Amino acid sequence: MTRKTEITVASAISLALGWFGAKAPGYRMPIDYDAIISVSVPVAALWTAVLVICVWRLRWAGLWFLIGSPLVLYWPVWRLFNHLPSCYYAHNCI
């Protein structure tokens, strides 16, 4: 693959992972707290691992992978600053 193709593929993967990580908790309303923990956090970890690989492989051009960071990191950062509601622990969130 050429370098331009690698950058394009990396950006597409970043956006796809970001979209999946951001949309998973919002499919069920109110917010699906289980999806934040079981989907968004592992997707963010996978995204971070792929970011490291892209930066290692593509050097400065690998930073284009950061285009998906607001999407993929929204729910894990939200979870870091906000506690889960008490209804989550009682398993009766409506």
Rg of the chain over Cα atoms, rounded to whole angstroms, equals 16
CA distance 32 to 88: 9
pLDDT tens digit sequence for 29-72: 677 777 778 888 888 898 888 888 888 888 887 787 787 788 88
Tokens 């999407």, residue located: 71
**pLDDT at residue 30, rounded to an integer:** 72
Domains in the chain, number: 1
Structure tokens given for 62: 């690998």
Is residue 83 in some structural domain?
Answer: yes
CA distance 51 to 40: 16
Amino acid, single-letter form, for residue 58: L
Is residue 27 in some structural domain?
Answer: yes
Is residue 3 in some structural domain?
Answer: no
